[in-house]
């Protein structure tokens, strides 16, 4: 079975079994969240985490790229610049690096080490053949995936001022980011966002200022809004019952963009929220001021 085929099967399987709905870790089963220690952004040197790499002083903001050439977000000022590197969930533990072009010195390499993080694991036995997509739906999903890859490649300026986010919805968040799913003994792609359980119609707001760069109704993700926060920092909000914005709209933090729903391949209403840095989905909790709360 090709990797590509496995990828859509895994998403289909997850959808068919309600896992994208957060039903794998339903709200009533979610364990209480530990308080978030320290101010965002928080470092986690593990897949799905963030590496904060001190680059030293420089008169101009250095240019930083991943080994694949993807531009990396850089914050700070002339006294100290910091690269904020998203570590893909698919990254292997071990040595990693970025390339730095300061404009004042020759290009150099900054190394860091990716460790491990104990994400939850869920093992399920499912009937073979239950998760097949029709040829039409498969073709649709392939088109939508190509479109999404273009959206994810967005890198714009101005640079964000502060890397911190507010919960985009009041609700109950489970520890769902990074959840490793194993179907019939075969590992599937891990869960790449935070699921927040809330009733249909609950307002969804911008977690930080941003520009709407895409809206649509997608096979797996349902009604979706993408926000660009600058510097390759993006948010994706899925399964919405209503979309109140259009591409090009500039939103302030806390401004409404839509409402919680159950559109796409889900079994119940919730917000799926993905956050990306340099095209890598990272744990949104690393950038949150506080956990989502049901009574907002
Ligand atoms: Zn989800």
Centroid of ligand 1 to alpha carbon of 238 (angstroms): 8
Q: pLDDT (tens digit, 0 to 9) for every residue of the chain, 296 residues total?
A: 333 333 333 444 444 334 443 334 443 334 556 678 889 999 999 999 999 999 999 999 999 999 999 999 999 999 999 999 999 999 999 999 999 997 666 789 999 999 999 898 888 887 766 567 889 999 999 999 999 999 999 999 999 989 999 999 999 887 689 998 888 888 888 999 999 999 999 999 999 999 999 999 999 999 999 999 999 999 999 999 999 999 999 999 999 999 999 999 888 999 999 999 999 999 999 999 989 987 65
Claim to verify: residue 126 and residue 207 sit in the same structural domain: yes
Verify that 107 and 133 share a domain, yes or no: no
Q: 84 forms bridges with which residues in the sheet?
A: 52, 73
Residue 12: inside a domain: no
User: CA angle at residue 114 from 110 to 117, to 5 degrees?
Assistant: 155
Are residues 187 and 246 located together in one domain of the fold? yes
Query: 221-243 burial string, b = 16+ CB within 10 Å, else e?
Result: bbbbbbbbbbbbbbbbbbbbbbb
- Dist CA 152 CA 279 (whole Å): 6
Considering the domain architecture, whether residues 246 and 132 belong to the same structural domain is answered as: yes
- Cα(236) to ligand 1 centroid in Å equals 11
Give the Å distance between the CA of 265 and the centre of ligand 1: 10
Q: In this structure, are 109 and 144 located in the same domain? A: no
**CATH number of residue 94's parent domain:** 2.60.40.1590
In a domain, 163, yes or no: yes
Preceding peptide of 19 cis, ω within 30°: no
Kindly state the tokens that stand for 93: 């533990």
Same domain, 125 and 104: no
Q: How far is the CA of 169 from the centre of ligand 1 (A)?
A: 14
Q: Are residues 149 and 253 in the same domain?
A: yes
From ligand 1's centre to the CA of 222, what distance in Å? Answer: 12
Specify the residue for token string 């799905």: 48
On whether residue 11 sits in a domain, the answer given is no
**Domain check: are 87 and 186 in the same one?**
no
d(C-alpha 9, C-alpha 238), whole Å: 19
200: containing domain: 27-38+118-287
What's 260's domain CATH number?
Answer: 2.70.70.10
- Same domain? 135 vs 89: no
């Amino acid at each position: 079975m090709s990797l590509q085929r496995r990828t859509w099967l895994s998403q289909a399987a997850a959808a068919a079994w309600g896992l994208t709905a957060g039903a794998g870790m339903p709200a009533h089963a979610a364990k209480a969240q530990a308080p978030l220690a320290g101010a965002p952004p928080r470092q986690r040197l593990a897949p799905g985490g963030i590496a904060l790499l001190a680059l030293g002083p420089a008169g101009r903001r250095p240019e930083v790229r991943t080994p694949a050439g993807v531009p990396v977000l850089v914050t700070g000022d002339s006294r100290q610049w910091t690269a904020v590197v998203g570590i893909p969930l698919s990254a292997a533990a071990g040595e990693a690096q970025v390339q730095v072009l300061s404009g004042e010195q020759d290009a150099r390499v900054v190394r860091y080490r990716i460790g491990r993080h104990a994400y939850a694991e869920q093992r399920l036995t499912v009937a073979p053949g239950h998760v097949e997509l029709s040829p039409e739906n498969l073709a649709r999903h392939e088109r939508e995936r190509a479109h999404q890859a273009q959206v994810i490649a967005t890198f714009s300026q101005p640079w964000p001022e502060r890397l911190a986010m507010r919960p985009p919805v009041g609700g109950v968040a489970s520890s769902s980011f990074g959840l490793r799913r194993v179907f019939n003994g075969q590992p599937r792609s891990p869960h790449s966002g935070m699921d927040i359980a809330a009733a249909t119609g609950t307002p969804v707001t911008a977690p930080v200022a941003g520009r709407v760069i895409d809206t649509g109704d997608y096979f797996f993700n349902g009604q979706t809004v993408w926000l660009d926060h600058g510097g390759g920092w993006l948010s994706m909000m899925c399964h919405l019952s209503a979309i109140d914005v259009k591409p090009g709209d500039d939103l302030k933090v806390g401004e409404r963009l839509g409402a919680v729903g159950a559109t796409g391949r889900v079994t119940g209403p919730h917000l799926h929220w993905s956050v990306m840095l340099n095209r890598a989905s990272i744990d949104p909790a690393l950038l949150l001021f506080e956990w989502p709360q049901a009574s907002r």
